[in-house]
Homo-oligomer: A and B are copies of this chain.
Amino acid sequence: MSRTTITRLSRKGSGERTALDELLDGVHIGHFALVADDAHPVVLPTAIVRDGDRVLVHGSTGSPWLRRLAAGATTSLAVTAFDGLVVARSAFESSMRYRSAVLFGSCRAITDPEDKRRALDTITDGLIPGRSQEVRRSSAKELAAVLVLALPIVEWSLKVSEGWPDDPADDVAGPAWAGVLPVVQHYGDPIPAPDLRASVALPQSVQRITPRARG
Residues of A within 8 A of B (CB): 1, 3, 28-29, 31-35, 39-45, 47, 58-60, 74-78, 80, 82, 84-85, 87-92, 94, 96, 98, 100, 102, 104, 120-121, 124, 127-128, 131-132, 134-136, 138-139, 142, 145-146, 164-165, 167, 171-197, 200-203, 206, 209-210
How many copies of this chain does one complex carry? Answer: 2
Q: How far is the CB of A175 from chain B (nearest CB, A)?
A: 7
Known: A33-B33, A200-B175. A90 touches B184 (CB 8 A): no
Complex contact A45–B194 (CB within 8 A): no
Q: How far is the CB of A77 from chain B (nearest CB, A)?
A: 7
> What residues on B are CB-neighbors of A124 within 8 Å?
91, 94
Chain B, residue nearest A181 (CB) = B187
> What residues on B are CB-neighbors of A179 within 8 Å?
190-193, 196, 206
Distance in angstroms between the alpha carbons of A190 and B178 in the assembled complex = 9
Complex contact B178–A136 (CB within 8 A): no
19 residue pairs bridging A and B, Cβ less than 8 Å apart = A1-B58, A1-B145, A31-B33, A39-B39, A41-B42, A43-B43, A90-B138, A90-B142, A94-B131, A134-B176, A134-B177, A173-B197, A177-B201, A177-B202, A177-B206, A178-B193, A181-B187, A181-B190, A184-B184
